[in-house]
Structure 1
Amino acid sequence: MEKVVKTADEWRELLGADAYHVCREKGTERAFTGEYYNEHSPGKYLCRCCGEVLFDAATKYDSGSGWPSFYQPVAEEVVAVNRDTSHGMVREEVVCARCDAHLGHVFPDGPAPTGLRYCINSLSLSLDKDED
C-alpha cells in the first residue's frame, strides 16, 4: 500500500476545518451528531482523506455510542491501531494505514464474531453507497 502524504495546508484545503480537526489533529465529533451514526444504507465506508476502503456497511451496527460502529475493517491491513494515552485514559486509536488519518478508537466490547467495536467519527469517513 502506497502511503499518501500531504502538507498540513494541503489537508486543510482538501478537508475543511471540521474534518481536518478530526482527521489530522485527532479530534472527535460530538456523539449523535455525525452524518453516518444512524446511516443504514449498504455500501463501503472510505477514508475521507485518501479514499481507501475501510469498512463494509454489512459490519456496521448500532452500538448506542452515538458514533458509527463496526465490528471489523474490510481487511486488517487497511487500519492501524496505536496506543492513545490522551485525556487521562488508555485507549486504542484507529488510523487509516494509508494516510494516517485519525478515525476513532477500537474497544473490546463489540458483538460476535470479533468482539470488537470500531467506534469511528463520521467526519473521517465517506460512504460509497451500493447502487440499487
Structure 2
Amino acid sequence: MDKIEKTDAEWRAELDEAAYRVTRQHGTERAFSHPGFPKEAGTFHCVCCGAPLFDQEDKFESGCGWPSFTAPVSPEAVEESEDRSHFMLRTEVHCPRCAAHLGHVFPDGPRDRGGLRYCINGVALTFDPKD
C-alpha cells in the first residue's frame, strides 16, 4: 500500500473540522457524540485515505461512547505507537497509509474475542456496506 503524504492545507481542504482535528491533530471527539453507526455488514475505512480498517463483524458495544472493535481487518490495517499525552501511557492506533490518528487500543475487550478494545473516533471512519 502506497503511503499518502499531503500538506496541512490539503488535509484542511479535504476534511471537515472535526475529522481534521481528530485525525491530523490527534484530537478526540466527545464520547457518545457520533450516534447512528450502521448495523449492516460492511467495512469501516479511514476518512482521510479510504484504507480499510475494521469490519462490522468485529464491532461491539463497549459502553465507552466510541465505536469499539475487537480487531482490525488485518494485522497490517493499523499501526500502533506509544502515547504519553494527558499524563497517561496508552497505545495509539493510526492508519499506516496516511498516518491519521484513529484512537487507542486497550486490553479490556471481550476475552472470548482476543481481549482487545480498539476504541476509535467515529469521525475518523467512513462505512462501506457489503454488497
Q: Are 1:50 and 2:49 an aligned pair?
A: yes
**Tell me, which stretches of 5 or more residues in structure 2 are unaligned?**
none
The alignment partner of 1:99 has SS state of coil
Q: Distance in 1 between matches of 2:3 and 2:35?
A: 27
Identity %, equivalent residues: 52
Q: Are 1:117 and 2:117 an aligned pair?
A: yes
Q: Report which stretch shifted further, 21-30 or 39-48.
A: 39-48
Alpha-carbon deviation of 1:35? Answer: 4.3
TM-score (norm 2): 0.95
The count of residues paired between Structure 1 and Structure 2 equals 130
Conservation of the 8 A alpha-carbon contact between 1:60 and 1:70:
yes
- Corresponding residue for residue 101 of structure 2: 102
Conservation of the 8 A alpha-carbon contact between 1:72 and 1:118:
yes
The alignment partner of 1:77 has SS state of coil
The alignment partner of 1:54 has SS state of strand
The alignment partner of 1:9 has SS state of helix
Q: What do the CA deviations read for 1:78-97 (whole angstroms, capped 9, x no partner)? A: 10001000000000000001
Q: Distance in 1 between matches of 2:16 and 2:69?
A: 25
Q: Distance in 1 between matches of 2:42 and 2:91?
A: 26
